[in-house]
Amino acid sequence: MSNISIDLTQKRVYASVSGPIRLSDVTTLNLSAAVPEPSTWAMDLPALALLGLVLRRSGRY
């Protein structure tokens, strides 16, 4: 069982993985993100793109 925690509030992506590091094993995705001002979305795009990649690779979305 793997757990990935992603925190976008500080414009950084933290990954905490327990167990084998295989995205196919991801069973829990904890997302903590404050709603940013519209002008800050451009800075968040790389983190959001990474989140989308993780979700697609996990096969959940």
The H or E element containing residue 30 is strand 26-32
Measure the CA dihedral 53/35/40/58, to 10°. Answer: 0
Single pTM value for the model: 0.27
Q: What is the pLDDT of residue 50?
A: 75
pLDDT of residue 1: 44
Residue 4: C-alpha distances to residues 26, 35, 53, 56 (Å): 7, 20, 13, 14
Q: How many CB atoms lie within 10 A of CB 4?
A: 21
> Going residue by residue through the chain (61 aa), what tens digit of pLDDT does each one get?
455 566 666 655 555 555 544 554 444 444 444 445 555 555 566 777 777 777 777 665 4
